[in-house]
Amino acid sequence: MKGKVVFIGGGPGDPELLTLKAYKIIKKADTIIYTGSLVNKEVLNEAKPDAQIYNSATLNLDEIIDIMEKETSKGHLVARVHTGDPSIYGAIGEQIEKLREKNINYKIIPGVSSLFAVSAALKSELTLPEVSQTVIITRPEGRTPKPDKEAIKCLAEHQATMCIFLGVQMIEEVAEGLKTHYPADTPVAVVKKASWEDEEIVRGTLEDIAGKVKSAGLTKTAIIVVGKVLDPGEVTPSKLYDKGFSHEYRKS
């Protein structure tokens, strides 16, 4: 009997934000490969005592696939645990390609993205009527290249809510790119390890956020959120609950 690889969204950090479906897979997995540099190991607390657990931070792609191939050939269930939701900067595409080549069965269980833990920590809605109805999720170009049209200074033209992963160590360059189109007084928040016990929040504007982040010593595991939704002033109510707005469930 062939085994299976299940890609799991391990959530943003708080073990209670693991989905029930992912929790059940972790409980019965024979082998667990988790992203040790990002995933809170408490997420694995309910793993079987005899489960084999590997930290993928010490492995390359070929080594990860070798483990998956060996274990699934024994009929074992392999849980591949990524941080947040695996579809956002989870590097699962390259793993899936190899699994398809080897005809290894797999599935994906979504997770709570760290982005949503960030918005909860900020007590903010990312989409507000007449302020921003669009959320741009991106990252600055580092060692991994990105298309020219997706440069932060190009995306900034929309002045939408922007959520920037993997950019806190380049906060000065990020802020300068954003100021190409956003006003210098645009609100910015940087949240480190949202939902963890040692969560940190630094707030400012595009003008001063770089200095504040450096003073706080934030260098990794943080998301940058930019936009007027962080300080919108008086919020314009949506039509959804407007007593004068009719829809199929309610008459005005």
For residue range 220-237, list pLDDT tens digits in order.
999 999 999 999 888 877
For residue range 34-91, list pLDDT tens digits in order.
999 899 999 999 999 999 999 999 999 999 999 999 999 999 999 999 999 999 998 9
Q: Rounded to 5, what percent of the chain is helix, strand, coil?
A: 35, 20, 45
pLDDT category, 1, cuts 50, 70, 90?
low
Q: Which two tokens stand for residue 131?
A: 């302020």
All structural domains of the chain, each given as residue ranges with its CATH number in brackets, are 4-112 (3.40.1010.10), 115-230 (3.30.950.10)
- Count CA atoms within 13 Å of residue 99 on its CB side: 24
pTM of the model: 0.90
Estimate to the nearest angstrom the gap between the alpha carbon of 204 and the chain centroid: 22
For residue range 138-147, list pLDDT tens digits in order.
999 877 778 8
Q: Edge-to-edge strand order for the sheet containing 4-9?
A: 52-55, 31-34, 77-82, 4-9, 106-109
